[in-house]
Every structure is written in structure tokens, then in C-alpha cells.
Amino acid sequence: MSFQTEIVKWYLINKRALPWRDTTDAYVIWLSEIILQQTRVEQGLPYFNNFLQSYPTVTDFANATETQILKLWQGLGYYSRGRNMLFTARQIRDSHAGIFPRKYDDLIQLKGVGEYTAAAISSFSANESKAVLDGNVFRVLSRYFGIETAINSTEGKKQFNELAQALIEDQQPSLYNQAIMEFGALQCKPKSPDCGNCPVQSGCYAKTNDRVSLLPLKLKKLKKRTRYFNYFVCFDGGQLLVNKRTAGDVWQELYDFPLIETENPYLEDQEQFLTKLKTNFGEACIIAPLAKQKHLLTHQTIYVQFFALDNYIINFNMNAEIKWVSLAAFEELPQPKVITNFMISNSIKQ
């Protein structure tokens, strides 16, 4: 039996009885799908019932005020869903004679209806053969077929889309789409799914290769770190004090200047800044701010502040990484862009 057939068979036995199943009314399906975006069935169910009772048709919905809609939406979160629904309902009332679209290409035009929702409504209401791709489907497909491409990468989306669309081809679109999502929600759950009871365990890549808890793959949301680099330019007798950057940070093996990193701009936490300054350059040193630069990396935003120093002594962890070099020698060394920019814009050359 094919994967699809097994999934549908499982669905017919295990599906929950939900009020938006077994209707082909695109308005009712739209109502349920928007409510269920980013929302669990148990939480959305009472809202769906309230909305449908209050607004049995899209025209009823369109005639509501924004306040009424948002009041009914209260507690469900992502309130732009409610606002977009009202906009869409009014558009359908005024420009589509109150008839809710059923074709994917028309649905996707509607505010608040993206790829997933357009596929859901078109398949459930009109059996259009568009594969749904929600979090459940990503999970089921990545595990069963062993797709190790991240689901939130451009390449991954393309790959999953093609696979999902191929799988639906010979199926009853509405039935199969509902089946695979329900299967993901109840059986192939994100955390500790009951693989021992799974009807497709023998063909499942993740089960066979012990990858269930690792799939689907998702790219880490890289949140940008903000850092403050305070560089000290020590220029004496034609020699420049430079620092070779070490492992475990940006610009590994490149050369910059002695650096004090602070958690805030130096003017906002002068105590921390001055303490570190004195430790490294002695009590009596004097600073003069030079140029500032904002440097953007993929994963970090670095605010760079250069300083000139006077009357300093060098205590700077006099490890092998810090040394005096001539300007000519420094020009031959690899440097981060931020350092080269500084040298050029200040016309520091021989």
C-alpha cells in the first residue's frame, strides 16, 4: 500500500469530528483556516463556533464593524488576522457579489490568505489538486521521506513543495490533504510521537535511521548580537601596535588593534570602560576619540570606536598576539575591513 493510501486509511479511522469538516462552503472553510493559523484546534474551536453563529455568511461578516470582529477575536492572538478577514469579507461582498472564491489563484489574492490557506480552501471546497504545506506536513514528509533540507530555507520550501505536490496527484485532494495534516497533528507529533503504533513506520526514514527527534530540520533563527569594539591606536616612532585575532571569534587570524570590548557604548558605561582601559594602559593614560564605524556581519552588528592614546603604558595581556610592527609591515598583514577603512580614511600611511 502506498504512503498516501496508508495515511488516508489511518485518517478515516482516527480523524477528529470537527465542525468544519464535511462542508464545501468556502466561507466556512476560510473562517476555520484563518482561525487555525498559528493556533491549535482546541483553542480555535470555540472561536470558530462563535464566529459562524454570529456571521453565518460572508456578507454577514462583511457587515460587522471592526470592533465587533476584534471583540469576538479577543484572546486568540495575531489580531491582524481578524482585521484582514473583515477587509476580505467586504471585498467579497462588494466586488465578488458575496460569492467566496474557490480557485487557488483567486484565493491567493485575498488579504490574509497565503499559500497554505489558498491550498486548503481550494482543495477542501472544490477538490482542486493543490497540496497543503503546513507545519504538520513538513514534519511528516521530512521524517517519512528523509528530507534533511531545512524547512525554512528557500531550497527546502521548493523541495517540500515539489514532493507534496507529486504525492497528491493521484489522490482525492480534499481527503488526502486533510488526512496528512491530521496524521501530523495526532500521530506524527513534534515531540515523542508514538512510532510503535504508526501505520507507516516500516517505510519511515526517520524511524529506521533514528532521526525522529531530529526531523524536520530547521535553520536556527539567528538573532543578531550587538557588540561594542573600542580600538586603541598606538602609533609611536613609525611603529603601530597590532593584535592578531585568535580563534573563537570573528576575523580569526586577521590583524587589528588592541581592543576593549564593552557591553554598551563606552559613553553609556564609562565605569566598565575606564576600568578596562586602566588595566591595559595604566592609570595615567589619556584617550581621544577618533572615528566611529558601524559594521554589519551576518550574525553581529559591531559598533566600532577608535581612540588615540597618550601617556600610556602597555599592560595589554602582553601575550604573543600583540606586537609592534611598522606601517609597511602592517599593510602586508591581513586586516578586517573595518581596520582597513580606518587606515584609509585617516590617510595613515608611510
Partner DNA sequence: ATCCCGTCGG
Partner DNA sequence: CCGACGGGAT
| 33 catalytically annotated | yes
Query: Among residues 57, 84, 272, 293, which is the contact residue for DNA, using CB under 7 A?
Result: 84
Q: Under the criterion CB under 7 A, does residue 40 sit at the interface with DNA?
A: yes
Q: Give CA–CA dist 294/305, Å, rounded.
A: 9
- Of 6, 33, 128, 182, the catalytic one is 33
Task: Note the helical H segments in 3-107.
Answer: 3-14, 26-36, 41-54, 58-62, 66-73, 80-95, 104-107
Q: Under the criterion CB under 7 A, does residue 293 sit at the interface with DNA?
A: no
Query: Among residues 30, 51, 138, 144, which is the contact residue for DNA, using CB under 7 A?
Result: 138
From the number of C-beta atoms within 10 Å of its C-beta (0-12, 13-18, 19+), residue 90 rates as middle
Q: Under the criterion CB under 7 A, does residue 16 sit at the interface with DNA?
A: no
User: Kind and range of the H or E element at 337?
Assistant: helix 337-345
Q: How many residues bind DNA (CB under 7 A)?
A: 36
Query: Among residues 68, 106, 135, 291, which is the contact residue for DNA, using CB under 7 A?
Result: 135
Site string for DNA, 102-131 (x = CB under 7 A): --------xxxxxxxxx-------------
Query: Among residues 53, 67, 95, 154, which is the contact residue for DNA, using CB under 7 A?
Result: 154
From the number of C-beta atoms within 10 Å of its C-beta (0-12, 13-18, 19+), residue 12 rates as exposed
User: Kind and range of the H or E element at 302?
Assistant: strand 300-310
Q: Give CA–CA dist 12/72, Å, rounded.
A: 33
179-238 binders of DNA (CB under 7 A)? 190-191, 218, 221-224
Catalog residues that contact DNA under the rule CB under 7 A. Answer: 36-40, 42-43, 75-80, 84, 110-118, 134-136, 138-139, 154, 190-191, 218, 221-224
Looking at the annotation, which residues are catalytic? 33
